[in-house]
Amino acid sequence: MDTLPPFLEHVGNTPLIHLREASARTGCTILGKAEFMNPGGSVKDRAAKYLLLDALKRGLVEPGGTVVEGTAGNTGIGLTLAGNALGLKTIILMPETQSAEKQSALRGMGAELRTVPAVPYANPENYVHQARRLAESMADGAAHGVVYPNQWDNPANREGHLASTGPEIWEQTGARVDGFICAVGTGGTLAGVSEYLKSRNPGIVTAAADPEGAGIHDWIKFGEIRSSGSSITEGIGQNRVTGNLEGALIDDAFRIPDSELVPVLWELIGREGLYVGASSAINVAGAIRLAEQLGPGHTIVTVLCDSASRYESRLFNRGFMESKGLPMPPWFD
């Protein structure tokens, strides 16, 4: 494709924001990559861009065709908007436990949304498996093609971050970056950025920030998927080694409980003026942990994934937060 539609053209090149509170607390420079400023509102716009461009390049689908994906929401939003710009229809399968805001956004953007019960990946009725089977069942006789992007195991996801996010961070920091950390959903962001940064400087420390209920922390630290507990975060927290994680160059991991990420979230909103969601907060909490481990004077980069507006019905719901034993924002008192 010689000329990209405006949506795809403007994915990426997001700014790095200096996080004053986290930096002051650690004596490091902690920077957040403002991925919520992508045109579809999240870091997943990058995966959507590279997954669809790869599918088009390989002739798996063409304008008039259909994209079928299983997603917790943000990749679905990115795929739907990018698909609209490319003349593709979108069918999204999503666990019914995901926020009402993401569900209504997908419908408003024109996706055909099918919500299904939330069951583990090992269950054949998991939304990822259902999406794959649906795409396979639609493929025969589809005039313009049906593609299952498979954000989890498709290397185009990881390669998109290797080609864009990593180089942007290297350039924006003037090659002065000591650590990178983010949470794992598909693993594409962490694996792709880590691969690029380490190709420029093998001494850069890369790490995962893992919520409770996820097993990547123990896989990185001990070589075994183990998990316990649960988290209010959505779209992150993996209990299998995805294709995008296989062979990833990741040095360390930190398990961040909700009780640690929520105060960071209120600080990001109330003191930094950054209206971001819980996944951004777990990333910043992880960056604080990594900064404390490396010591003062280092530069740590993390990802500000999306907006709190996609989770308002939960994050600012007193009954929901109190049921989890978590505090409301101080300005609600």
Mean predicted confidence (pLDDT) in 288-315: 97
- Do residues 78 and 25 both lie within one domain? no
- Do residues 297 and 169 both lie within one domain? yes
Enter the tokens of residue 114: 């099918």
> What per-residue confidence (pLDDT) applies to 108?
97
Residue 128 contacts residue 70 (beta carbons within 8 Å):
yes
- Do residues 210 and 244 both lie within one domain? yes
**Residue 157 placed within a domain:** no
**Residue 153 placed within a domain:** no
- Domain span at residue 106 reads 43-147
- Do residues 111 and 174 both lie within one domain? no
**Residue 191 placed within a domain:** yes
Query: Roughly how many angstroms between the first and final C-alpha of the chain, as a whole number?
Result: 53
Global pTM reads 0.96
> What per-residue confidence (pLDDT) applies to 241?
97
Using CA atoms of 276, 279, 283, 285 in order, give the dihedral in degrees to the nearest 10.
Answer: 80
300 Cβ neighbours under 8 A, 6+ residues apart = 28, 29, 30, 31, 177, 178, 179, 180, 181, 287, 290, 291, 294
> What per-residue confidence (pLDDT) applies to 2?
65
The partner residues of 68 in beta bridges, in order of sequence, read 91
The percentage of the chain sitting over the pLDDT mark of 90, rounded to a whole number, equals 96
Q: What tens digit of pLDDT does each residue of 138-194 get?
A: 988 888 999 999 999 999 999 999 999 999 999 999 999 999 999 999 999 999 999
> What per-residue confidence (pLDDT) applies to 1?
58
- d(Cα 290, Cα 294) in Å, to the nearest integer? 6
Tell me, yes or no, if 44 is annotated catalytic. yes
**Residue 331 placed within a domain:** no
Q: Quote the distance between the C-alpha of residue 213 and its chain's center.
A: 17
- Do residues 182 and 215 both lie within one domain? yes
What total of structural domains would you count in the chain? 2
**Which of 104, 122, 147 corresponds to the end of one domain?**
147
- Do residues 72 and 30 both lie within one domain? no
**Residue 289 placed within a domain:** yes
Enter the tokens of residue 173: 């920091």
Q: Which of 33, 44, 89, 102 is catalytic?
A: 44
Alpha helices of 87-210 — where are they, by DSSP H? 100-109, 127-139, 155-160, 166-172, 188-200
- Do residues 200 and 316 both lie within one domain? yes
